Structure 1
Amino acid sequence: MRAALLSREYPPHVYGGAGVHVDQLSRELRRLVDLRIHCFGEPRPEPYVTAHGTPTELSGANPALHAMGIAPAMAAAADGADVVHSHTWYANFAGHLAKLLHGTPHVLTAHSLEPLRPWKAEQLAGGYQLSLFCERTAVLGADRLIAVSHAMRDDLLRCYPELDPGRVAVIHNGIDTEAFAPDPGAAELTPLGIRTDRPTVACVARLTRQKGLLHLLRTAPQLAPGTQLVMCVSAPDTVEIADEFTALAREARDQGVDLVHVHEPLSRDALRQLLTHADVFACPSVYEPMGIVNLEAMACGTPVVATAVGGIPEVVVDGETGLLVPVDAAPGGGGEPTDADAFAKDFAARVNELLADPERARRMGRAGRRRAAEHFSWASIAAQVHEIYRSVV
């Protein structure tokens, strides 16, 4: 069986959870099928990977048009595949075109949903309406859909009530527990200004409203005295959110917070060492279909304090591998808390609870490592995806 996997992200350009998913899944799928990968950007060295660039005529256009302009080339290149498998709205439209053009079954993995990310209008302007169009068209036309969590499946059926529930399967994201394992080294951390001799709370995320990073900065002054907060935050969606982050970070430091802001994406080694040395990993997301980074922290033996939204409760077991913080979301979508001050207070209380009880935190870390290894292996996930392929071919 030949499968064409369509994705915006593929190494070395991976900036989010969907890109990590595609990278790890493709490694295992290549053992099971003749896999051809189609991604955005410049040429890749692997013979089975074809990269597609933005048409010259669209180079200065809205970013959403870049994705729509790449879609026809991706669809044409998928000729000869027995199944096409697309990831995120950026590539979903290409998968839909490939189905129409070649009659090839289209499998779509939903990592997030555009109707539940209204803040993207801040980044894409009118392009957000195009992303809604691309996603809706592809979702309703796909032969099978894979949701990365049960919460994501529920969201799919709520956002697209026309969808046949029987077409939607749940296959969780996974984790490579060999690549992510406890690493007591600190050589990668010292050059970044990260100390290993004090209680540390770590957060790693893209700077987008979805990740709740501004809320974590508002939480920071309430953390236990002497706590080092390490925020590895990069790739801001807009200049405006970058400016908001900078202003709140300045306020936090003025209030005595020991804040380390790492502006660039971490190397794998640095990320592993940071997650290992952190006493708590913080995930304040207001929208999170799954959250691979929580699995990465758990695999490194670190307890997680996270919001109880989306698929996070399917990963972080409250009271066993970490602590969950409920969010009373404001009406209108987007997931923002109704009372931001109350949310910050609740989040700080959960983090401080674990900082005050290191032995409990270590027990949770060990339990998290076991859970990551036992329930989220990529080999198992690839086998389940392969079964989806077989069901449509």
Structure 2
Amino acid sequence: MTLPIQLRVLEIVQSLEKGGRTTRFTDTVAGLRAQKVFTVPLCFSEPEPWVNIPELEVLHKTPGINWKLVFQIRKTIKNHNINLIHAHCEFSQLYASIAGVTCGIKTVATFHRSDLSKYQPNMVNTLIKLFASHFVAVSHDRLSLLTKNLKLPLNKCHVVHGGSVIEKKPTVVTINKTRTDLGIPLDQLMLLSIGHLGEIKGHQDTLIALSKFTQTMPELHLYIAGDGSAQEKQKLTELVNKLKINEYVTFLGQINNAFSWLEACDIFIQPSVEEAFGLVFVEAGAKAKPVIATAVGGIKEIIVSKETGLLVPPSSPKAVENALAILINSAPLRKQYGENGYKRISEYFSLTNMVNKYTDIFNQAVN
């Protein structure tokens, strides 16, 4: 009987900036290593300072076509005796899969993008289809785009949902301590959003909805964590001023302690216009928080409306307002949705589940 080939994985990503892709890449590398899988992480640019991936290798991609990267990746493959490549997003998939084919090894390509234009036929996607051997979507919603738009073979396509570390469910004691540590009043009804400041995350709809309650519920406060361009920040700041809700909104900027803020909040709210998956909604559930979100992309695979939170149509401030009215006026319902969410995330969206699904695909590819 032939013994299974031991995995030696090259994980490649084109950049490590804020967002779900960086989290998934970091968690996948850590998860594979925890399972004693030899893993080499490689990035096409210098990571953000807060990214912590031991032994990360960096190749510098310059603007335009970079065929030189193919030869550099080939060298990495040979230096580490790699037998499988896992590449995240289009340009890393392109260069990695070509390098892999020339070295006789398979490439697994994970598609993360929220931008729907990335799932349209073009030269890059055609080459990825030709050179990669397995294709991973981060949600069933995105799987349909891979098979319908890009015509990728269904028997070579997989869905791997993102996962979160599952800790003990927060208690009143731990929540109050976290709030005290963060400087948040214990009697505040705290809303939280975590996502970059572009319109795609729907912060503008949250602000408009919030403005309908501040006169009658002064204990309400919205915290928005995330960064963006100066123009994006200015646009939201001007909207806050126009709505006269300055004292009810705090922009936190980029944070590196998201789980603490999630533990502290009463409601997680983010009415995204589009999401490929939406890892932050998994992380909110892992902290037993009720969620207000939109029925788009992968979100509807995470949140069960009227069970773990409330789903509303995108770009609808009135629908967000109605959902807020339900949750801010019912502490029992918030508790029920939060507990249901914690149970669902623990069962279906753990980090262990994600890594195990990847290793199954990797072993299928090499064996």
Q: TM-score, normalised by structure 1?
A: 0.79
The AA in structure 2 aligned to 1:53 is: H
Q: Name the CA shift for 1:239/1:277 in 2 (closer, same or farther; >3 Å).
A: closer
1:21 maps to 2:24: yes
**Partner of 2:56 in structure 1?**
49
What is the DSSP-based 3-state SS (H/G/I as helix, E as strand, rest coil) of the residue aligned with 2:21?
A: helix
The AA in structure 2 aligned to 1:52 is: L
RMSD: 2.9
Point out where structure 2 has 5 or more consecutive residues left out of the alignment. 1-6
Alpha carbons 2:97, 2:106 under 8 Å: kept: no
**Partner of 2:145 in structure 1?**
155
| Alpha-carbon displacement from aligned partner over 1:49-82 (angstroms, at most 9, x marks no partner) | 312234xxx4xx5xxx498875653454233311
**Partner of 2:155 in structure 1?**
166
The partner residue of 2:12 within 6, 9, 27 is 6
The AA in structure 2 aligned to 1:209 is: E
What is the DSSP-based 3-state SS (H/G/I as helix, E as strand, rest coil) of the residue aligned with 1:203?
A: strand
Alpha carbons 1:113, 1:156 under 8 Å: kept: no
Shift of 1:257: 5.9
Shift of 1:274: 1.9
1:240 maps to 2:208: no
Q: Name the CA shift for 1:71/1:358 in 2 (closer, same or farther; >3 Å).
A: farther
**Partner of 1:110 in structure 2?**
111
What is the DSSP-based 3-state SS (H/G/I as helix, E as strand, rest coil) of the residue aligned with 1:21?
A: helix
The AA in structure 1 aligned to 2:342 is: R
Counterpart CA distance in 1 for 2:185 and 2:77 is: 49
Q: Name the CA shift for 1:233/1:48 in 2 (closer, same or farther; >3 Å).
A: closer
The AA in structure 2 aligned to 1:36 is: V
Identity value in percent: 23
**Partner of 2:304 in structure 1?**
317
Shift of 1:379: 1.9
Counterpart CA distance in 2 for 1:222 and 1:74 is: 54
Q: Name the CA shift for 1:321/1:83 in 2 (closer, same or farther; >3 Å).
A: same
**How many pairs does the alignment contain?**
347
1:291 maps to 2:281: no
Counterpart CA distance in 2 for 1:186 and 1:94 is: 46
Counterpart CA distance in 2 for 1:4 and 1:305 is: 37
What is the DSSP-based 3-state SS (H/G/I as helix, E as strand, rest coil) of the residue aligned with 2:193?
A: strand
Shift of 1:307: 0.1
| Alpha-carbon displacement from aligned partner over 1:203-247 (angstroms, at most 9, x marks no partner) | 01012333222332333312453211111121x2x4433332232
**Partner of 2:359 in structure 1?**
386
Pairs within 5 Å for 1:32-47: 32-42=36-46
Alpha carbons 1:8, 1:39 under 8 Å: kept: yes
Shift of 1:301: 1.3
Counterpart CA distance in 2 for 1:257 and 1:180 is: 31
The partner residue of 2:166 within 177, 187, 204 is 177
| Alpha-carbon displacement from aligned partner over 1:288-326 (angstroms, at most 9, x marks no partner) | 121110111111111001000011111111111111112
Q: TM-score, normalised by structure 2?
A: 0.85
Alpha carbons 1:6, 1:74 under 8 Å: kept: no
Q: Name the CA shift for 1:233/1:46 in 2 (closer, same or farther; >3 Å).
A: closer
The AA in structure 2 aligned to 1:103 is: G
Q: Name the CA shift for 1:144/1:179 in 2 (closer, same or farther; >3 Å).
A: farther
Counterpart CA distance in 1 for 2:212 and 2:122 is: 39
1:73 maps to 2:72: yes
Alpha carbons 1:39, 1:52 under 8 Å: kept: yes
Counterpart CA distance in 1 for 2:203 and 2:44 is: 28
Alpha carbons 2:169, 2:342 under 8 Å: kept: no
The AA in structure 2 aligned to 1:200 is: M
